[in-house]
Amino acid sequence: MRDKADLYTFEREERQNGNNVICGIDEAGRGPLAGPVYAAAVILNPDDVIEGLDDSKKLSEKKREALYPEIIKRALSYSVAFATEKEVDGLNILNASMLAMRRAADGLHIKPDIALIDGNCSKGFTIKVRTIVGGDAKSASIAAASILAKVSRDRFMKELAALYPQYLFDVHKGYPTKKHVELLLKYGPCEVHRRSFLSNILNKESAG
């Protein structure tokens, strides 16, 4: 089992390489059928270790909500941004995710020396980047960003649930659960559905 102290290994390596200001960047919401894709950028204080950081997908909603204000309060800088469902449709989900990440990075009030990015791809960044596959479970900075992005998106999907109650966005957060697909087929897509994600579902229904 990985020692949680190892979550700061990548940050220590970068400081040894002369990159003292390090931000972690991650996204949330690449897979849903509806809503924006969110991203967050976080610069942690190396002298203030936040206990409990981990990949947001491994944490309960209660734990993510508890860590969210701690990260915001104790980080040296943080920023949350998104790309809309219309941008997802126009750019494709990879490029929209990159756009949200760049917007998050641009929102930091401290310029980082390097950004640690979850995954194996980076596009269009004007700062130095290092991609880390599975980074949200390996880097404290990326883990913190994953939590901010996930919580922010979940909260927004709950707001959308109040506007479009028939889809139960507060329950499935837009992901393609069986219930969401059933409701989508019953009511048809709404303004916040990603049209580029729906063709297989809607075509299958029309063919049936």
pLDDT tens per residue, range 52-77: 999 899 999 999 999 999 999 999 99
Give the containing element (helix H, strand E) for 65: helix 61-74
C-alpha distance from residue 98 to each of 74, 142, 169 (Å): 26, 15, 24
As a whole number of angstroms, the distance between CA 180 and CA 123 comes to 32
* Residue type at 46 in one-letter notation: P
CATH value at residue 185: 3.30.420.10
pLDDT band at 208 (very low <50, low <70, confident <90, very high): very low
As a whole number of angstroms, the distance between CA 133 and CA 138 comes to 9
Total number of domains in the chain: 1
As a whole number of angstroms, the distance between CA 123 and CA 130 comes to 11
pLDDT digit string, tens, across residues 85-134: 999 999 999 999 999 999 999 999 999 999 999 999 999 999 999 999 99
By the 10 Å C-beta count (0-12 exposed, 13-18 middle, 19+ buried), 189 is classed as middle
By the 10 Å C-beta count (0-12 exposed, 13-18 middle, 19+ buried), 115 is classed as buried
Q: Three-class SS of residue 118?
A: strand
As a whole number of angstroms, the distance between CA 155 and CA 34 comes to 14
Task: Give the structural domain span for 102.
Answer: 4-207
